[in-house]
Amino acid sequence: MASSSSSSSGIMRYHVFPSFHGPDVRKGFLSHLHDHFASKGITTFKDQEIERGHTIKPELVQAIRESRVSIVLLSKKYASSSWCLDELVEIFKCKEDQGQIVMTIFYDVDPSSVRKQKGDFGSTFMKTCEGKSEETKQSWGNALTHAANIEGEHSLNWANEADMIKKIATDVSNKLNLTPSRDFDRMVGHEAHLAKLNSLLCLESDEVKMIGIWGPAGIGKSTIARALDNQLSSNFQLKCFMGNLKGSLKGVDEHDSNSVPYGFKEVANKVAELCGKLPLGLCVVGSSLRGQSKDEWELQLSRIDGSLDGKVEDILKVGYDRLTKKNQSLFLHIACFFNYKTVDYVTTMLADSNLDVRNGLKTLADKSLVHKSTYGHIVMHHYLLQQLGRQIVHEQSDEPGKRQFLTEAEDICDVLTTETGTGSVIGMSLDTSNIGEVSVGKGAFEGMRNLRFLRIFRRWFSGEGTLQIPEDMEYLPRLRLLDWYNYSRKSLPLRFQPTRLVELRMPFSNLEKLWGGTQSLPNLKIIDLNRSFKLKEIPNLSKSTKLEELTLKACSSLVELTSSIKNLQKLKIIDVRYCSMLQVIPSNINLASLEILEMDGCSRLRTFPDISSNIELLNLEDTDIEDVPPSVGCFDIETIPDCVIGLTRLEWLSVKSCTKLESIPGLPPSLHLLEANDCVSLKRVRFSCHNPARLQFGNCMKLDKESRRGIIQQSVCRYKCLPGKKIPAAFTHKATGRSITIPLAPGTLSASSRFKASILILPAMDNGFRTVRCSIRSKGGVTVHSCECPCLSLSFRAKHLFIFQGDLFRQGNKCHEVDVTMSEIIFEFSCDLGDDKIIECGVQIMTEEAEGSSIRELDNYETESSSSEVDCYETESSSSEMDFFKTFLSMLNHHTDGNGDGNYEAKSSSSKRSGLFRNRRQQRSPHSLKWRRRQQQKVSSSLKLKTSKPVNECCPKLETIPALTPSLKSLNANECV
């Protein structure tokens, strides 16, 4: 972007630039050569309209640099023209700078005469040099020598000039076909698109073909078509490229894709990010910044971030303008409020509108304005599209209070403090990160009678800011979404009518209660008041019959959970973790839909919560429960009983630190995670299936050979870990250290290719939780993909194998370009323990056949530890592990929400659980069981049902648990000493 010359851009307008002395060859030899070029579809620069003089014209310099091949036609009088000699110098500059192809033709002149500037040719040259500087003479002479050293056609060697011309035309055509144009050299990934298009063209067929390239405006459809035309057009005698009949993409030709100037890389990356890496956006924005200083670039960034360039807006708006009014409205809802939300969420939130959400989303997807992510979230294809939607809303009125959506903090604070909101406003999303302390009057919301979506949040790791409202504020509109972080009052306004509420989220609030009496809440699905430390009571919820999630985590002043929950037959999740004052929970009721009951940290709770027979996960860590009903069960953890093996929907089994456990029999096919770290007596493990699972056998040094083979053969869900001393033979590519380069034969990869990797890690007595990372790069250093396995306990007494697999290329975004033509690929591994801990690595590129086969070659695969080492080894988890989890959970549930920009979002309750428990909820009634050795006292074993986030808590008075019932899906009774 630094250069204004089109030569820097790599755009090639001509196939051939001929350099010649006109009187010698123009009317005869050259005219016949032009005819042959035309017959082969070769575009030749013609200079008839350029007035020749004593110095080379800028038009000729540009033409030379915009040609793929230069042909130097050296004749007797070629050196008589300073113009020709200047052309020749420029041609060799272009050859050096751009790798341009240079071909020579010696027409009635001997190459040696040109090389040494001797004979008649030399005399002519010396005459031209008269009065010229030594520098000019030397540059001309060097250029002639270089030209003569290029092997070319010599007319004196041909009996028939026509045959020579035909041969030259064929040679040029072949070189154009064999030498890829430099137009698209810097466009990573376009080869994959061209390969796909070539496969559809069927050029060997005589049939007429029409192929459509589908995608949103500005994403690069014309660029791909132009690249294909550039690749194939020389094969056709007649051709025409029509870029865009409306001319809206003419700016692509102006795009300067030269390398980023020194020192501009960081700011250029910001520009690319703001443009969503749309070729059109890069073109338009890049053109406006071309030739500017770095300071000017940075100055312009804030302006780019705040508004779209007119050219970009005009093009992107084409798709929007073609939508119906209702679908335009849906587009604006997503751009301003619901980007990155799930389809179900948006459908629910807009259920009372006149919008056909599901069909509308399909239309927006068909128009390439949004797509549905792998996890079911609605995502706008590019940041520029979201910016377009917000700009359309901004242009609705010069007065912010008269627009549909308010997303800018400055506008929102102005509307609230001046009380100028109107009935036009239906959504408000305020990021308080950098507003400081803003106080508003009691009538701040009075005018916004149609406000339906109110979100007040603060980003992670950003500035402090609060919105203060007066105690006498009486009015809030009839909202469907009330999401208010750090709400400052003790209760909601008196005149607030929550009848339309679908979602109520008020984490870290000062609430003591929500409202008084019983409210009709027929639409309410989620209540999240986590870390509302002053909350003392929950209102009567008997009329909230659609409620699915109730999150009261760390509401440390709450004493009683309302008995009205007995009416909530759709309630799936109750989370009252760390409600340290909680003493009373309704009993003898049966909530038919309840799946998860989290009560760890309720240290004053003494009565077992007998509220559902269908619970999938029950967590009772650090409670004071003295008795457990017979339906929960008990067992001896020195062996795994048949009643556990028979749990056909068991997903998670942890026997961590069960030092007396010697064998694990056949496990059910539903299993997703088996934790057996520090089972120092474990010898035998049997699998009854090859379903993908996470397998942890850290420090299980007594595993027999058959068990180790079975563990390695087992399919990998995310990772598996076990003792070992070398990379298994099935990993066909191996290397010492932490990186490996793999050569690739053509056709090896596809967009869906996967890999399996194994690393050998040195012993590390580390009690914390660490991450193993894998970076995958192409030969040129471009990152193809990166993946990681976080939160691993990598405390090893001996060398261990860590095995995992993943996608070779990023998946889930249809617009992501994949280059499957790489000649080699580089894997680099790292871990938080220190990269020097990785001493060997191995990779297997997975084909469908390889993924379906097992690993058989495990000869001489032994552990290095002796049984004596095992006998004296004891495992004790440190407090750092527990502190890590508490900190992690606090961060995870800290309510921070993006405003639809795609920024990091982590919520407690529903959004968190959709990730943590997704597999459980997709399958019917899975089970989760955990046993674990006691942390503080070295007893042989203890019973624990694992939550996905362990903490160092206990039920100290529990003495017995009777027989286990098949209906139980999860039991957590940690530290039952």
Instruction: Show which residues are catalytic.
Output: 87
Query: SS3 for 444?
Result: coil
Taking the C-alpha atoms of residue 701 and residue 868, their distance in angstroms, rounded to an integer, is: 10
Helices (H), 19-160: 22-25, 31-39, 58-65, 82-98, 111-116, 119-128, 134-148
Closest C-alpha among 851, 850, 838, 829 to residue 741: 829
Map tokens 């604006």 to a residue: 332
Taking the C-alpha atoms of residue 762 and residue 799, their distance in angstroms, rounded to an integer, is: 5
Contact 840, 737 (CB under 8 A): yes
Q: Give the type of residue at 287.
A: S
Query: Which residues have C-beta within 8 Å of that of residue 818, sequence separation ≥ 6?
Result: 189, 192, 751, 809
For 702, how many CA atoms within 13 A lie in the half-sphere containing its CB?
19
Closest C-alpha among 715, 678, 647 to residue 798: 678
Taking the C-alpha atoms of residue 170 and residue 151, their distance in angstroms, rounded to an integer, is: 16
Contact 183, 11 (CB under 8 A): yes
Query: Which residues have C-beta within 8 Å of that of residue 275, sequence separation ≥ 6?
Result: 281, 282, 285, 312, 383, 384
Closest C-alpha among 649, 658, 528 to residue 930: 658
The partner residues of 431 in beta bridges, in order of sequence, read: 457
Q: What is the 3-state secondary structure (H, E, C) of 271-318?
A: HHHHCCCCHHHHHHHHHHHCCCCHHHHHHHHHHHHHCCCHHHHHHHHH
End-to-end CA distance of the chain: 69
Query: Which residues have C-beta within 8 Å of that of residue 362, sequence separation ≥ 6?
Result: none
Query: Which residues have C-beta within 8 Å of that of residue 530, sequence separation ≥ 6?
Result: 507, 508, 551, 552, 553, 554, 555, 575, 893, 895, 908, 909
Query: SS3 for 37?
Result: helix
Taking the C-alpha atoms of residue 279 and residue 849, their distance in angstroms, rounded to an integer, is: 38
Map tokens 């269908």 to a residue: 614
Token pair for 37:
């070029």
Contact 957, 624 (CB under 8 A): yes
Degrees to nearest 5, angle at CA 225 with 222 and 230: 125
Q: Kindly report the number of other CB atoms within 10 A of residue 359's CB atom.
A: 12
Taking the C-alpha atoms of residue 603 and residue 960, their distance in angstroms, rounded to an integer, is: 19
Q: Environment class of residue 159 by beta-carbon count within 10 Å: exposed (0-12), middle (13-18) or buried (19+)?
A: exposed
Taking the C-alpha atoms of residue 369 and residue 319, their distance in angstroms, rounded to an integer, is: 8
Contact 181, 12 (CB under 8 A): yes
Contact 64, 91 (CB under 8 A): yes
Q: Kindly report the number of other CB atoms within 10 A of residue 875's CB atom.
A: 18
Taking the C-alpha atoms of residue 896 and residue 488, their distance in angstroms, rounded to an integer, is: 17
Contact 634, 955 (CB under 8 A): no
